[in-house]
Structure 1
Amino acid sequence: MLHGRGPLLRVDVSEQAVLEEPIESVHKEYIGGRGVGTRLAHERIPFDVDPLGPENHLIFTTGPMQASNMSFTGRMNATSVSPLTDGLLSSNAGGFLSRNFTATGYGAVDFVGASDELIVVHVRDDDVRFESVPELEGATVPETTAYLETEHGISPDQTAVIGPAGENEVRFASVMTTEERAFGRGGLGAVFGSKNIKAVTFDGNSSPDIEIPATQMEIHQEAATDDHIMKRQGTVAVMDLANEVEGLPAYYFSEQQFDGVEGINGAAVEEKKYEKGTCSACAFACKLPTKDDDAGVETEGPEFEVAMAFGSNSGVDDIVEVMKSNQLCDEYGLDAISAGNTIAAYLASEDEFGNTELIHELVEKIAHRQDEGDLLAEGIDRIHDELGVENWTVKGLDFAAHEGRVLHGQGLSYAVANRGADHMYATFYSVEYPLVPDEDALDPNGTLGKADRLVHRENLMALNDSGVICKFSRDYMNPERYEALFDADFEELLDVGARTVTLERHFNNQRGFDRKADNALPYDLPDLEQALDEYYETRGWVDGVVPEENVPEV
C-alpha cells in the first residue's frame, strides 16, 4: 500500500525542544493525513485533556499524494481536540502549504506545551528555530505574513498563521495558510493561541521519494480539460438548487428558502471573480478570487457555506457585503461558517437581520472578544440560552448549508458524524440532491436503509483525508483508480478509513460522547432512532460507543 514517509517531529514549545521519532508503522497502517493524525492523537493526547491546555496537541500531517503532480492533492491535515466541540477533530486546508510541509522531510509535526511568550516556530529539514515575536501581538493574518516575508523572505505559502481570534482563544478561530485558506472548522486556531504560537513556517529540500502510478496524469488531464461549473462558481454553484428544493437555511435556520438568493448565488459570485484560483498542482482551479473596486474589497470566495452563513442565514442579499464578511474572517483568523452562523444567532435575538454594518462590526468584536463579541466567541452551543435562540449545533458544531430537513440522509450524517454538523464528513448531500450520476443517487426522503451507504461514504472521505485527496475529486475517482494510485485493494483502503473513524469515536467516547450526542438534532428526522440502530450495527458499535474489543490496536 502506498503510504506517507518521514519521521514525526515533536515540538515542545514549553521547553523549546524538539525530538524526532520514527512512525513508519503508523504510516503503513493509516497511510497519512487524517488517519495518521488520528492514530497519533489517540496515543498521545490524554482523554481528559483541556482543549486549551498545554497537554493538548496539534498535529500536522500530509499523505503520499503530496509527492505527486496530480490535481486535487494541494491539501493537508491538522488534528487536535477541538475547543468548540470538545472532541477529537481533524481539519484540512488547501492552498500551497502541503508541499512546503512535505519538503521538510517530516511525515508529521506535533506541537505540544505552551510558550511563555508569543513565538513563531520555523521548521526546516535541517533545523527548528523558535523566534520571539512580541511585536506581532494582535496582528492580523496579512500583517503577520507580511512580517515573515519582509524579515525572513518566507512566502505566505509556507506559513500556518493565527490572527487576533486565535490569540484571544475564540472557540472557532482558524489556522490560516496562504492568507486565505483555512484549517477552519473546530477552532484549531484557538489551540495555537493557547500555546502562544503565532505562526509556524515550513521549508526544506527533503521531500520523500515516492513513486506515484501513472494514473495520476490521467486524472490531472481530465481535471484540466473538463468544463465543470465549479471552475466558474466554486461550491456556491449549488445554491440555486438548494433554494429550489427548499434546502437553503435562512434567517438563522428559521426558513428554508431565501427570496434574495439571486444576490448571493453562483452567478453573483462569478460576476465578481476576476481570475482563476487554485491549490498546489491542481488544474481543476475551482477557487474564487473576487473583488469589487467600488467597495474596496478583495477576497477569495465566498464559497457556498459562507454565502449561506453570512448571506441567507443572516438575511443579507448582497454578495459584496458577504465578500466583506469573508475578507474580515480571513484577516482576523475566524472560521467564516461558524462566525456567520453565530452572528446570525445574535441577529435573530436582536431582530437585526440584514444589518451589514452590525455584522462587520461583530466580526471584529468577536476576534478581539470585545463587548458582546466576548459572548459570541464562545459559539452557539454555549450561548444559545443566553441569546434566547435554538441551539443549531450537533456536538457543538454549527450546521453547514446542506439542509438535513430536506436531505434526510445528510441529516443522519450530521447526527452521527464525530465532528458534529459538518457537511464534508461524509458529503452525503451529493447523493441526495443529487450531484452524482442517477445510478448512484438516493431518494432524499427517509433515513432507513441508508446506514450502509453512509458508513461507506464516511470511510471513503476518511481515506481521502488520509491520502490526501480533495473531496471535489469525486467525478474523477473510482475504485479502480484508488487501487491503482495506492497499490492496494479498494476494500483494504476503505478499512483504513473505518479504523480512522473508529479511533475518533473511541477517543470521543472517553470524553462522554455516546448515543445521546448522536440524537441531538434541533429538528425531527423520520425514524431517526431506528436509523441510529442501523448505523451502529453497521459500525459494530453499541449505542454510539465502540466496544473495547473493536478498538484498533494503538
Structure 2
Amino acid sequence: MNHVKGPLLEIDAGDREATTVGVTEERRSFVGGRGLCTKLAHDRIPYDADPLGPNNRIYFASGPLQQSGMSFTGRMNCTGLSPLTDGLLSTNAGGYLSRNFVDTGHSAVEVVGAADELLVIHVTDEGVEFVEAPELRGATVPEVTAYVQRERNLDAENVVCIGPAGENQVRFACVMTYESRAFGRGGMGAVLGSKNVKAITFEGDAAPDPDLPEDVQREVHSAAATSDDLMRRQGTTGGTEFINDNFSLPTRYFEKYSFEHADAIGGDAVEEKKYRKGSCSVCAFACKLPTRDEATGLETEGPEFETVFSFGSNCEIGDIVDVMKSNELCDVYGLDTISCGNVVAAYLASKDEFGNAELVHETVEKIATREGVGDLLAEGISRAADELGVRNYTVKDMEFAAHDGRVLHGQGLSYAVANRGGDHMYSTTLRVEYAGEVDPETLDGKPELVVRRENHAAIRDSGIVCAFAGGTDHVTEETLEALFECDYEDLQEVGARIVELERHFNNKRGMDREADTLPYDLPGIEDALDEYYALRGWNTDGTVSDDLVGEYAAADD
C-alpha cells in the first residue's frame, strides 16, 4: 500500500528544540494525513491533557498524493485535541501549502509545549529556526502574511498562521493558510495560540520521488480540466436553491426549514460576484470563488455554501454582500465560518435581531477580540446557550453544518456518531440522500451506510484527496485502488482503524454513548446506534475495547 514518506519532525515551542523521529510503522499502517496524525496523537497526547495546555500536541501532515502533480491533491491535514469538542479532531485545508510542506522532507510535523514569547517558526529541509515576533501580537491573517513576505521573502503559500481569534483562544478559531484557506473546524487555531505560535512556514527542496501510477494521475487531471460540473462555476453554493426547495436550509437559528431569500445568496448570486477563477495547488478543477462587489470594493474568497447558510439563512440575512463581508471578517481574524455564523445566529435569536447585518459584523469582531458579549460567544454555542436562553444546537459541542439531520436522517445519524460532532464532512452521507440514492427520511440501512462512508472519508483525508473529487466522480473506488495499489476493502479497514483510534481516545476522556445524541428527536435513533456499534465491533455503550486498539500496534501494510 502506498503511503507518505519521511520522518516526523517534533517541535517543542517551549524549549525551542526540534528533533526528527522515525515513524515507519505508523506510516505504513495509517497511510499519511489524518490517519498518520490520528495514530501519533492517540499515542503521544496524554488522555487527560488540557486542549489549551502545553501537553496538547498539534500535527500537520501531507499524504502520499501530495507527492504527485494530480488534480484534487492540494490539501493538508491538521490534528489535535480540540478545545471546542474536548476530543481528538482532524481538519484539513486546501490552497498551495501542501507541496511546500512536502519539500521539507517530513511526513508530519508536531508542535508541543508553549513558548514564553510570541513565535514564528521556520521549517526547512535543513532545520528549524525560532524567531520571536512580539510585533505580531494582535496581527490579522493578511498582516502575518505580509510580515513573512517582508522578513523571509516567502509567499502566502508557505505559511500557516493564526489571527487575533487564535491568540485569544476562541474555541472555534482556525489555522489559516494562503490567507483565505482554513483548517476550519474544532479550534486548532486556539491550540496554536495557546502555544504562543503565531505562524509556521515551510520551504525546502527535499520532496521524495512520487511512487504513483502516472497514467491514473493523467486521467484524473484531464477529467478535472474538462469537467463542466456546476461546482466549477459556483463552488458548493450551486446547490443552495435545490436544497432549500427540496430538503431544508436551516433558517432563523434552526427555527425554520427554508429561507425565502435563498436565491439572493445562492449559487447564481455568488457567481455574479466571481471575478476570476480560483484553485488549489496543481488542481485543474478550479472550483474556488474569488468574489468582488464593485459598489463597495469588498473582495473575499467565497462564500461557500456552509457560510451562505451560517451567516445567511440562519441569521436571516438575504444580501450576498453582507454574507461576503462576514466571510471576509472570519478569514481576516481566523474564525471558522460555520461555528461563528451559528454562534452569531444564536445571539441574534436571544436578542430578536434576525436580519441585522450590522450587528452580525460587529459581533464577529467582538468574538475575535473577546470584547463584551464576544467573550461569552467565543466559547461556542454549547457553553453559551443557557446564558443566551437558546436551544443548544450542537453535537459534542460542535456547531451544525447546513445539512439538516431532521430531514436527512442518515446525516442525522452521522452527526450523532461522528467523533468530530456536528460536522458534515465526517461521512458525507448527505450526498446519497440528496441524490435520491436512498430514502432520506428513514434510518433503515443507514448504519451500514454511515460506517462505509466514514471509513471512506478517513482514507480520503489520509491520501489526501479533495472531497469534491469523489463527489464529482473524478476519483472513484477503482481510482483509489490504483493510486494506493491495494484493494478498496483494505482501504476500508485502514479507515476503520482511524475512526476507532479517534473513538478510543475520546472514550478515555469520558465520552461514550451519552455523547452520541442529537438536540432533536430522530425516530429509531437508539436502534440505529445499536446497529452502528455492532457493525463496528464496539461495545453497546459506544466504547472501543483496549484490546481492539492494541492490535493496531502490530498492523502492517
TM-score of the alignment, normalized to the shorter chain, above 0.5? yes
How many residues get paired? 548
Match of 1:457 in 2: 453
How far did 1:351 drift?
0.3
2:74/2:95 contact within 8 Å kept: yes
Match of 1:549 in 2: 547
Equivalent in 448, 452, 470 of residue 444 of structure 2: 448
Q: Distance in 2 between matches of 1:36 and 1:17?
A: 22
Equivalent residue letter for 2:201: T
Equivalent residue letter for 1:6: G
How far did 1:246 drift?
3.8
Match of 1:493 in 2: 491
- Mapping 1:306-321, distance limit 5 Å: 306-321=307-322
Equivalent residue letter for 2:450: L
How far did 1:527 drift?
0.3
Match of 2:137 in 1: 137
Tell me the alpha carbon deviations over residues 460-508 of structure 1, each in whole angstroms, 9 at most, x when there is no partner. 0000000000111111122221111101111111111110000000000
Q: Distance in 1 between matches of 2:421 and 2:488?
A: 27
Equivalent in 529, 532, 535 of residue 532 of structure 1: 529
2:315/2:345 contact within 8 Å kept: yes
How far did 1:264 drift?
0.4
Aligned: 1:241 with 2:239: no
Aligned: 1:428 with 2:426: no
- Mapping 1:140-289, distance limit 5 Å: 140-213=140-213, 214-289=215-290
Match of 2:46 in 1: 46
How far did 1:549 drift?
2.1
How far did 1:547 drift?
1.6
SS in 2 for 1:311: helix
1:245/1:406 contact within 8 Å kept: no
Aligned: 1:351 with 2:347: no
2:161/2:177 contact within 8 Å kept: yes
Match of 1:323 in 2: 324
Q: Distance in 1 between matches of 2:268 and 2:545?
A: 49
Provide structure 1 residue ranges, at least 5 long, that are not aligned to the other structure.
none
1:448/1:530 contact within 8 Å kept: no
How far did 1:254 drift?
0.6
- Mapping 1:88-127, distance limit 5 Å: 88-127=88-127
- Mapping 1:338-377, distance limit 5 Å: 338-377=339-378
2:192/2:198 contact within 8 Å kept: yes
Tell me the alpha carbon deviations over residues 438-474 of structure 1, each in whole angstroms, 9 at most, x when there is no partner. 6xx1110111221111100000000000000011111
How far did 1:526 drift?
1.3
Q: Distance in 2 between matches of 1:246 and 1:156?
A: 39
Equivalent residue letter for 1:446: T
TM-score norm. by structure 2 comes to: 0.98
Q: Distance in 1 between matches of 2:440 and 2:552?
A: 37
Q: Distance in 1 between matches of 2:401 and 2:24?
A: 36
Q: Distance in 2 between matches of 1:432 and 1:422?
A: 16
Equivalent residue letter for 2:485: D
**Identity in percent:** 59
Tell me the alpha carbon deviations over residues 71-95 of structure 1, each in whole angstroms, 9 at most, x when there is no partner. 1100010000000000000000000
How far did 1:210 drift?
2.1
Match of 2:57 in 1: 57
Equivalent residue letter for 1:452: E
How far did 1:553 drift?
2.7
Equivalent in 520, 523, 540 of residue 523 of structure 1: 520
Match of 1:82 in 2: 82
Equivalent residue letter for 1:473: A
TM-score norm. by structure 1 comes to: 0.98
Match of 2:334 in 1: 333
Q: Distance in 2 between matches of 1:299 and 1:366?
A: 20
**Superposition CA RMSD, Å:** 0.8
Equivalent residue letter for 1:109: V
SS in 2 for 1:385: helix
Q: Which moved more, 1:288-297 or 1:75-84?
A: 288-297
Aligned: 1:473 with 2:472: no
2:171/2:186 contact within 8 Å kept: yes
SS in 1 for 2:278: coil
How far did 1:418 drift?
0.3
